[in-house]
Amino acid sequence: MSLAHTAAEYMLSDALLPDRKGPRLKGLRLELPLDRMVKFVAVGFPLLLVSLAFAQEFSSGSPISCFCPSNFSIRQAAYVDSSCWDSLVHHEQDESGQSKTKSLWPHKALPYSLLALAVAMYLPVLLWQYAAVPALSSDLLFIISELDKSYNRAIRLVQHMLKIRQESSDPDVFWEELEKARKERYFEFPLLERYLACKQRSHSLVATYLLRNALLLLFTSATYLYLGHFHLDVFFQEEFSCSIKTGLLHDETHIPDLITCRLTSLSVFQIVSLASVAVYTLLVPVILYNLTRLCQWDKRLLSIYEMLPAFDLLSRKMLGCPINDLNVILLFLRANISELISFSWLSVLCELKDTATQKHNIDTVVDFMTLLAGLEPSKPKHLTHGMCDENP
């Protein structure tokens, strides 16, 4: 065995990917990074504001302070605070002297509305988890496994070609069989390509992804409407006139008709309202950006895997409208690029291929590894000239 043959065998053995053992599902990212960020902010921010509201209530006591007459006892003053907080109705007179009332219930409903907002924002996450994640995880596991296996098959094929070349007594016969196999596309493994082509005709994943982001935009719009319609009306009202002359106290003459009360929690109410508007306004461009990524293909990832035999989605112009399941899968393959061991090898080979295309006809990793293993220089000259004539 020659030294060059031994070096080629070592090089090809090192190029083989190791077999991965253990469950691979735990390492998969089944949410895109920006989607995860949107989830944490959209759901976690209202919960943070709820804790702020409850902390303010526990630290400062009653959320209102009423200015009772001086002849009221402590227990009577506490009853006024409790009664006015329960009713939370502002009594006033209009220009014509008619009495009218305005409810201030958004102050009382603030923690519960934030909890409802957090639950609503978590619904799209649940939709994705139950409607898309099971199918997506199986697709990713299969595609990642097949991409790595296709790379290993190509390397093992070159190893086998090197072995046959060493054992062959007539080099011309070997190269004629090799060129015939290339023309007949014997080196291709079309299962993965056909599977990905089928995913272009499927729309279940992309429909779920679009619905998830559409629900986020819908709930964000509902939040704007709620804050604008209910919070803005009471946003600057710090004091209100409360009436406790109801029930048994209706005919009591020593009780004033109206008692002025002050909302001590108004500052928290204002901070929560403004912070909610600001945060969800910042989330809207992120959600829209997530949707726009479905309108274009990740051709960088596809071009690298064009080095694999029978993975020519780009060169055959098989890509149509990008709004389909295949584009969603490509986005998640990019997010799980650390799970694709073959990606780094193929990236290097693509860079080297660009510098060698002027001298050699290199289409796939099989061609490149054939060149690196030293088989290409041993090709008979009449076959080399024939290939150059076919590919000027």
Cα separations in angstroms, 4 against 166, 176, 307, 375: 11, 23, 25, 10
Least confident of 246-255, 310-319, 364-373, 376-385: 376-385
Structure tokens that stand for 228 in this block: 């604008």
Question: Which pLDDT tens digit goes with each residue over 24-80?
Answer: 556 788 999 999 999 999 999 999 998 888 877 777 767 788 887 777 777 777 877
> Contact at 8 Å (CB) between 60 and 125?
no
Least confident of 17-21, 45-49, 245-249, 357-361: 357-361
DSSP class per residue in 151-186: HHHHHHHHHHHHHHHHH-S-HHHHHHHHHHHHHTTT
Cα separations in angstroms, 171 against 6, 158, 175, 177, 344: 19, 16, 6, 10, 34
Residue 86, pLDDT score = 81
Question: Which pLDDT tens digit goes with each residue over 343-384?
Answer: 887 777 777 666 654 455 555 555 555 555 555 544 555 444
What is the separation, in whole angstroms, between the first and last Cα of the chain? Answer: 36
Instruction: Give buried/exposed letters for 270-307 (b at 16+ CB in 10 A, else e).
Output: eebbeebeebbeebeebbeebeebbeebeeeebebbbb
Tokens 């526990």, located at residue: 58
d(CA 77, CA 97): 29
Question: Which pLDDT tens digit goes with each residue over 180-204?
Answer: 555 545 455 567 778 888 888 899 9
